[in-house]
């Protein structure tokens, strides 16, 4: 594994840092949305959007990034961050309260995907990222729809992750306090699907939106 570049190295609480690509990939692949950080007119923005990884490339759906894209020509610096919240960490002291989480940060220059074949593939990857199996059923994009879609690509060369797991870490002298301490796990789960009003009768809910089901392992 290559050494992390200075820019991507985690500075704060480095014991929580993760640089293994497999671990970073797993976080990127699980997160349903990302936040894209970029600079416009010298000022920072962080905008939520959808992403998907395809090997060593992270694709980012550009619909919400139009503010950025107006200034994009040969690539624009971005920071794509995903964060999975796994739990509330309740310590005896307020100071040691924390959260369990897994986050990944990808730094790089985003290029706009112009090649129609790559764009089509990127869109497939994005839809499959959110709802595995869906592209086999939903109507594929037309040429016109493809043209209306903006996809950015960022290399995963500069990526890192930060992970906190486990119980609260209290100071020795606080352990006897009569305060409950522990972790309240959190998870994004799906509810009962709501069919569109205009859905023809006889179409049952597909089995694939199970990614966030309460029963998943």
Compute the least distance from the CB of residue 73 to its own copies, in Å: 17
Residue 62 sits at the vertex; the CA angle it makes with 56 and 67, to the nearest 5 degrees, is 130
The encoded tokens of residue 123 equal 């869109």
**Residue 77 or 157 having the CB closest to its own copies:** 77
Count other Cβ atoms within 10 Å, centred on residue 126. Answer: 21
Residue 99 engages its own copies in binding (rule: CB under 8 A): yes
Which member of 4, 111, 112, 135 binds its own copies (CB under 8 A)? 135
Site string for its own copies, 66-95 (x = CB under 8 A): xx---------xxxxx-x-x--x-xxxxxx
Rounded (10°) CA dihedral 28, 29, 30, 34: 40
Q: What minimum distance in Å lies between the beta carbon of 165 and its own copies? A: 11
Whether 24 and 159 have beta carbons less than 8 Å apart is answered as yes
Least Cβ distance, residue 3 to its own copies (angstroms): 18
Shortest reach from residue 51's CB to its own copies, in Å = 12
Q: 12-31: which residues touch its own copies (CB under 8 A)?
A: 12-13
3-state secondary structure of 87: strand
Calpha distance 148→145 (Å, rounded): 5
d(CA 161, CA 17): 6
- At its nearest, how many Å lie between its own copies and the CB of residue 131? 6
Contacts with its own copies in 146-205 (CB under 8 A)? 148-149, 162, 167-168, 170, 174-200, 203-205
What is the number of other CB atoms lying within 10 angstroms of the CB of residue 106? 27
**Binding flag, residue 127, its own copies (CB under 8 A):** yes
* 56 versus 179: smaller Cβ distance to its own copies: 179
């Amino acid at each position: 594994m290559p050494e992390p570049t200075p820019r991507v190295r985690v500075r704060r609480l480095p014991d929580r840092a993760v640089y293994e690509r497999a671990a970073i990939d797993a976080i990127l692949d699980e997160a349903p949305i990302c936040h894209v950080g970029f600079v416009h007119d010298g000022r920072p923005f962080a905008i939520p959007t959808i992403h998907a990884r395809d090997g060593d490339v992270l694709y980012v759906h550009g619909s919400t990034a139009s503010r950025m894209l107006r200034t994009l020509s040969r690539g624009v610096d971005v920071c794509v961050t995903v964060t999975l919240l796994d739990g509330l960490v309740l310590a005896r002291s307020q100071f040691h309260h924390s959260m369990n989480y897994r986050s990944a940060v990808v730094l790089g220059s985003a290029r706009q995907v112009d090649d129609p074949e790559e764009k089509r593939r990127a869109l497939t990857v994005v839809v499959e990222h959110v709802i595995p199996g869906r592209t086999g059923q939903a109507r594929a994009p037309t040429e016109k729809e493809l043209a209306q879609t903006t996809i950015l690509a960022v290399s995963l060369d500069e990526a890192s992750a930060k992970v906190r797991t486990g119980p609260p870490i209290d100071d020795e002298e606080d352990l006897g306090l009569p305060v409950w301490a522990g972790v309240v796990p959190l998870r994004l789960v799906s509810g009962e699907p709501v069919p569109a009003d205009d859905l023809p009768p006889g179409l049952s809910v597909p089995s694939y939106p199970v990614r966030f089901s309460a029963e998943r392992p």
